[in-house]
């Protein structure tokens, strides 16, 4: 999957005109690319369109129009676009209650290293977490992590042949597994493997 360039982005004026339609398209696209692991943990699988939407929104909110600043946004978000042999996801831990969130994030230090995907009968692939910067410390984990699930050629081939895809978390006191994931979601993720 190719990375985004300046030519793929709309100017602030163009985006203002197209935003409602583009936003609707991106939100619908994102819906089929999410996998709830339980009521508090969700994987949001990223791709070229989700990152284009993210960048366009950042440019809009920050009123960024200088070429160098736009390049900084491209440099920040392009690494979240899959490379053909992996899936890239935003892992979110969501607790609406502030006190519960504080307590749980303190208990879940390191959980981001225990999130996995599994294709067919292959071994679990644990996500490589936060390659851009560390999002946990000794006292608590972050509620947002970026994960890369690197697949072997055999896993890619089996996934394309329709092998079931499971996902989960293997963390002490926090064990979940879902799958096989919905057919529509699996189909969307297979597009990341080209």
Residues 96, 168: Cα–Cα separation, whole Å: 22
Secondary structure (DSSP) of 23-61:
HHHHHHHHHTTEEESSSSEEEEE--HHHHHHHHHHHHHH
How confident is the model over 131-142, as pLDDT tens digits? 766 666 678 888
Which pLDDT score, from 0 to 100, does residue 131 have? 72
Cα-atom radius of gyration of the chain, to the nearest Å?
A: 17
pLDDT in tens, 89-111: 999 999 999 999 999 999 999 99
Could you state, in order of their start, the residue ranges of all structural domains in the chain? 1-31+48-81, 35-45+82-194
Q: For residue 141, give both structure tokens.
A: 């984990």
Which strands make up the sheet holding 125-126, listed edge to edge? Answer: 125-126, 115-119, 165-171, 174-178
Q: What is the distance between the alpha carbons of residues 93 and 136, in angstroms, rounded to a whole number?
A: 13
pTM greater than 0.75 (yes/no): yes
Mean pLDDT computed over 155-183: 96
Is residue 157 classed as helix, strand or coil in its secondary structure? helix
35-45+82-194: CATH topology: Immunoglobulin-like (2.60.40)
Nearest residue to 4 via CA among 45, 51, 65? 51
């Amino acid at each position: 999957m190719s990375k985004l360039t300046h030519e793929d982005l709309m100017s602030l004026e163009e985006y203002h005109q197209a935003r409602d339609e583009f936003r609707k398209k991106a939100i619908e696209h994102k819906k089929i690319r999410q996998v709830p692991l339980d009521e508090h943990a969700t994987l949001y699988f990223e791709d070229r369109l989700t990152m284009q939407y993210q960048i366009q929104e950042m440019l809009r909110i920050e009123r960024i129009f200088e070429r160098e600043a736009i390049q900084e946004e491209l440099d920040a978000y392009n690494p979240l676009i899959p490379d053909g042999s992996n899936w890239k996801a935003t892992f979110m831990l969501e607790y609406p209650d502030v006190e519960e969130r504080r307590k749980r994030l303190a208990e879940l230090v390191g959980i981001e290293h225990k999130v996995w995907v599994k294709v067919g009968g292959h071994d679990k692939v644990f996500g490589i977490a936060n390659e851009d910067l560390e999002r946990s410390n000794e006292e608590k984990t972050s509620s947002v992590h970026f994960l890369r699930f690197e697949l072997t050629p055999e896993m890619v081939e089996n996934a394309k042949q329709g092998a079931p895809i499971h996902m989960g978390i293997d963390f002490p006191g926090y064990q979940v597994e879902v799958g096989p994931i919905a057919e529509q979601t699996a189909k969307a993720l297979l597009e990341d493997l080209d």
